[in-house]
Amino acid sequence: MPIEFKVGQHMDPQQKAGLQAAMRTWEIATGKSLFKFTGVHENVDGDSFKDLYSSLQDAVNGNYLDANWKKTGKPDVVLATTIWNNAASDAAAIDTADIRFNVQDYVLGDSLKIKGTTSEATGQFKDPVDMQTLALHELGHLLGLTHISSDVDSVSIMNPYVYVGEGLTNRHLSQGDIERVQRIYGCAGDACDVDKALAAVLDFARLNSDQTAAR
């Protein structure tokens, strides 16, 4: 730790901001530095790879946009997917990981600002998806969390769906999310008080949304 990561060449500033805010949210939840941005993966994006898993061969933890989502083999209803290689020395640990984002079928950005659009290539409508919300969910997988049924935790970011549409966001974690990630990575400082960690996460989400609305 921290996990070093790069972003693909076509990720725009708004998308990067959403991704980094999502990373910061998980760090607030643990009180630890979990991620380290190491720049743009020059001349590389999701479409640079022949299929879904070949992006793991470059030993870079990447966050990539896929304009040709069909190459991943995932259905178009999938907004993003997280893939990884397990460490040779510990099958329970992740060695390298990538997050692949579907921009063939969706518009990713700040859903408080962006609108859907019609694809020139297919004529199909592309719904807007909040990048921070989506990245928060996918980063949960990268950190080792699985889906949580809404019957168990109805406000978890790890529920197996993300709402799609203008103005729809979920930029915070639940108490259960915080407890689960702390079981894996521990905690430091005030974050070890789960109530304080939750309050800090909610404050960050509120501040982030207020700043977005003011721009």
Exposure on the CB side of residue 150, measured as CA atoms within 13 A: 6
Domain total in the chain: 1
pLDDT score at 214 = 52
What type of residue sits at position 166?
E
Global confidence as pTM? 0.93
Q: Quick: pLDDT tens for 151-174.
A: 999 999 999 999 999 999 999 999
Enclosing domain of residue 86 = 3-214
pLDDT score at 37 = 94
Both tokens of residue 23? 């990373």
CATH classification at residue 91: 3.40.390.10
Q: Which residues pair with 130 in a beta bridge?
A: 109
pLDDT score at 207 = 84
Burial degree of 136 (CB within 10 A; 0-12, 13-18, 19+):
buried
pLDDT score at 86 = 81
Beta strands in 23-168 (DSSP E): 35-41, 62-66, 80-86, 94-102, 106-109, 117-118, 125-130
pLDDT score at 120 = 80
pLDDT at 62 over 70: yes
Q: Quick: pLDDT tens for 177-195.
A: 999 999 999 999 999 999 9
